Amino acid sequence: MDDQASAVRVPRVLLPQPGIDIARWAVIACDQFTAEPDYWAEVEDVVGDAPSTLRMILPELYLHAPDVAERVAACQETMRRYEAEGILEAHEALLYVERQVSRGVQRGLLVEIDLDAYDFRPQARTPIRATEGTVIDRLPPRVAVRRDADLELPHVLVLYDDPDGAVLAAVDAARDTLRTAYDADLMAGSGHLRGFLVEDPDVQAATLAALAALVTPEAYARRYGLAADAPLLLAVGDGNHSLAAAATIWAEHKASGAGPDHPARYALVELVNLHDPSLHFEPIHRLVTHAPGLADALVAAVGGIVTPVPDAAAARDAVADATGQVFALVSAAGVAVVEARTPSHQLAVGTVQAFVDGWLAEHPHAEADYIHEGDVVDRLGRAPDALGILLPGIAKEDFFASVAVDGPFPRKTFSMGHGHDKRFYLECRRIRP
- pLDDT tens digit sequence for 106-142: 999 999 999 999 999 888 999 999 988 777 767 787 8
Count of alpha carbons within 13 Å of 200, Cβ hemisphere only?
A: 16
Helix, strand or coil for residue 94?
strand
Give the highest mean pLDDT range of 7-21, 143-157, 269-283.
7-21
CB-based contacts of 139: which residues, under 8 Å, 6+ apart? 241, 244, 245, 248
Categorize the per-residue pLDDT at 405 as very low, low, confident or very high, splitting at 50, 70 and 90.
confident
Average pLDDT, the chain: 93
At residue 2, the pLDDT reads 55
CA angle, 191 then 193 then 199, to 5°? 170
- Compute the average pLDDT of residues 58-77: 92
Q: Which residue has the higher pLDDT, 35 or 103?
A: 103
Mean pLDDT of 399-405: 87
Confidence of residue 5 (pLDDT cuts 50, 70, 90): low
d(CA 166, CA 168): 6
In this model, does residue 239 exceed pLDDT 90? no
Q: Are 286 and 349 in contact (CB under 8 A)?
A: no
Mean pLDDT along residues 400-415: 82
Q: What is the pLDDT of residue 136?
A: 72
Neighbours of 18 (CB within 10 A): 7
407: closest CA among 43, 117, 135, 119?
119
Question: What mean pLDDT do residues 1-23 have?
Answer: 87
Q: How many CA atoms lie within 13 A of 13 on its CB side?
A: 29
Relative to beta strand 234-238, strand 128-130 is parallel
Contact indicator for 30, 57 with CB cutoff of 8 Å: yes
What's residue 373's pLDDT?
A: 82
Task: Say how far apart CA 417 and CA 280 lie, in whole Å.
Answer: 6
When pLDDT is averaged across residues 340-364 and rounded to a whole number, the result is: 93
Name the pTM for this structure: 0.85
pLDDT tier at 345 (50, 70, 90 boundaries)? confident
